[in-house]
Amino acid sequence: QRSPSPTYKLDNEDDSYESCVPVTQRRAAKLAKLSSLTSNSAPKKAKMQLEELLAKEDAEQEEEGRREGAWKERTLPLEAQEVHFRKAAEDAKKTEIEKAEEADAEILAAIASRRKLAPDLELTKGISYSESLKTSWRPPKYIRDRTEEQHRRLREKYHIIVDGEDIPPLIEHFEDMKTPQRMLHFLRSKKIFTPTPIQLQGIPTAFSGRDMIGIAFRGSGKTDAFCLPLIMMTLEEEVRLPFIRGEGPVSVVLCLSRELATQTYENVLAWTAALAKDGKYLRLNTLLCIGGISMGDQSHVLNKGRRIVVATPGRLIDMLEKKRFTFNNCKFLCMDEADCMIDLEFEDDARNIMSFFKRQRQTLLFSAMIPRKIQDFRQPRLVSRGAYTTARVVERPEYNKARRRGSSLDSSPLFPSVPPWAQRM
Minimum mean pLDDT among 21-30, 158-167, 248-257, 367-376: which range?
A: 367-376
At 209-241, the pLDDT tens digits run 999 888 888 888 889 999 999 999 999 888 887
pTM for the model: 0.63
Write the pLDDT tens digit of every residue in 131-185.
778 888 999 999 999 999 999 999 999 999 998 888 999 999 999 999 999 999 9
Q: Where are the domains of the chain?
A: 24-73, 76-107, 132-394
Share of the chain above pLDDT 70, in %: 65
Contact call for residues 169 and 352 (beta carbons, < 8 A): no
Highest mean pLDDT among 98-112, 289-303, 329-343: 329-343
What's the fold here for domain 132-394?
Answer: Rossmann fold (3.40.50)
Average pLDDT of the segment spanning 27-36: 68
Stretch 193-214: mean pLDDT? 92
Q: Please give the share of the chain, as a percent, with pLDDT higher than 90.
A: 24
pLDDT of residue 390: 52
Per-residue pLDDT at 422 exceeds 50: no
